[in-house]
A and B are shown apart, each in its own frame.
Chain A
């Protein structure tokens, strides 16, 4: 095992290299449909990293994150469409509304453990979808369309794909930075204590509910920003596209597939999931044939059964077996071992 500082600087170099690669990638990938594919991956990664803060670090499995995604999308879009407020402000407003909603829903729901909590989050998201679908103010099932005539950086509406690419890359960097800061701070230690040893944490005077609420509201804020981005990119939202259970499932799947409780696991998860989703469509024909569902369901089951720490955990297991030393390898492997404790 290398010394801590060595590993840290290696990690930092790795992160900068990865970021530089992401920044120049559109120079090589110029086809709009392929740029769109990259955008989808970054969107998935951003969702996954945001979910991971509460689902991975704090171990509180939410299967209703679509509620925050939808709140973000609807808040920024309503502000833009009806009041002409820029989504720069709208997205932050959406994040704050989502964080407040997280506090309101978390306060009662966090009295529940494990399976109960997961179930309660599904119920909250489902109720919200029904309410929005039947709300006249929010145009119900019809959905909201963004004003296409207002393009530019003020309204964050573009005809080209490239600006969206850099926008979501920036949002992903922000999200990863927040997750990284949490991971390294004392809050991160409390989160892991809550996840692994709740009774011991309580005995040491850690307020479980307070830190769970922090985890959920930070995660909700970032997820809502992702929702606002979705609205800007698609220029149309309806309850089925942002509040649906399938959105909640996807958010959680990305994180578990890549590696729960690891910083970059969800990014890997997004690459895998979005690639499967997009390519199974082109390979096996139309959507609705079910092949993409079959493939990624099979992957989830395999990951759940054989590697609770996700593909990233699987990779670092492999790495240890082979005995090769890649940047940060040993450290990641050790961190994963911690995460798999029940």
Chain B
């Protein structure tokens, strides 16, 4: 009986953890390549959710079908953000860097509130709905598909970074920008690419969870802090680390909420951030 409940809890922790991983890989990619923390990352996820919502509400395109479009759209948003704002603060003091992306966060929230109202919106009757029952364990099909999608995207990103010329160039820029530039890699182009891919990952995560999560302008704030925890635990800049850490954080959140109380689950996850920062600041797989 208790074993069943435990398995149920672990499964839901794993499913949400994979989504956290997808949000965090974009964040960690940007940080790894250019040492900038993107406070507006949760807002990229929010935009992904709204893209799905409007595709569904206006054109009756199912969120799952709209995913490639969402990814492209957010890639463009990421590149535009880089070209208009981030490019100008690469050499600015850390304070300016923090506040530039912080300002972006508030700007995107404000724009969403202005154009789409602060209401909570839901996508109902999408293609993917209902529950799956595996023996005593039950979980939603949308959650399962979202987790599967998260694994797929993270895997594709890993392959891109390690098996393609462009991806390797991006990795090289992350490791040593000067050396990469000497090898003929255009650093500016790589930075723009990192922002595009990072935003697209967050957007895809948004599109994947849009079917089972309320959509509203400040939805990103729920995810950004958890994504930070994942990035720190995984090690800044490490995609594999973020993937593992996402799962761990998901499990700890759900398990902690189950054992101590759901109202404390965010506090538990954030305490984990402090513990990691103090005990092992470079995280699981980060560079020393």
Contact = CB atoms under 8 A, between A and B. Distances in A.
Mostly, the A contact residues are: helix
B113 A112 contact: no
Contact of A130 (B92, B109, B110, B264): B264
Interface in A89-123: 108-109, 111-112, 114-116, 118-120, 122-123
Contacts of A294: 107, 110-111, 114
Contacts of A305: 85, 88-89, 92, 96, 100
B118 A288 contact: yes
The interface centre, meaning the residue of B37, B106, B232 with most chain A CB atoms within 10 A of its CB, is B106
B102 A300 contact: yes
A297 B107 CA distance: 5
Contact of B270 (A123, A296, A298): A123
A318 B267 CA distance: 46
Interface in B97-152: 97-100, 102-107, 109-114, 118
- Give chain B's interface residue range (CB within 8 Å of chain A): 35 or more
B256 interface: no
A249 B112 CA distance: 19
B217 interface: yes
Mostly, the B contact residues are: helix
B161 to A, nearest CB: 22
A241 B232 CA distance: 29
Given A126-B270, A294-B107, A61 B98 contact: yes
A114 B94 contact: yes
A120 B273 contact: yes
12 contacts: A59-B95, A115-B37, A116-B232, A123-B271, A260-B95, A292-B110, A293-B109, A296-B106, A297-B110, A298-B103, A301-B104, A304-B89
Closest 3 CB pairs of A and B: A293-B110, A290-B113, A300-B103
Given A119-B273, A126-B225, A127-B270, A111 B94 contact: no
Contact of B281 (A116, A252, A297): A116
Contacts of B8: none
B91 interface: yes
Contacts of B118: 288, 290
Contacts of B96: 304-305, 308
Nearest to B231: A119
B80 to A, nearest CB: 13
A63 B94 CA distance: 13
A291 interface: yes
Contacts of B99: 252-253, 256, 300-301, 303-304
A112 B270 contact: no
Interface of A: 55, 59, 61, 63, 108-109, 111-112, 114-116, 118-120, 122-124, 126-127, 130-131, 133-134, 245, 249, 252-253, 256, 260, 288-294, 296-301, 303-306, 308, 340-342
Interface in B240-265: 261, 263-264
A331 B23 CA distance: 47
Interface of B: 37, 85, 88-89, 91-100, 102-107, 109-114, 118, 217, 221, 225, 228-229, 232, 261, 263-264, 266-267, 270-271, 273-274, 277-278, 281
Nearest to A56: B95
A289 B114 contact: yes
B113 A122 contact: no
B267 A130 contact: yes
A123 B113 CA distance: 25
B37 A119 contact: yes
A298 to B, nearest CB: 6
A290 B91 contact: no
Given A124-B274, A290-B114, A342 B281 contact: no
Contacts of A342: 91-94
A156 to B, nearest CB: 33
Given A134-B263, A293-B113, A305-B96, A111 B271 contact: no
A116 B96 CA distance: 15
Given A115-B98, A123-B228, A133-B263, 15 more contacts: A109-B277, A112-B281, A115-B37, A116-B232, A119-B273, A123-B229, A126-B270, A131-B267, A297-B103, A301-B100, A303-B99, A304-B96, A304-B99, A305-B100, A342-B91
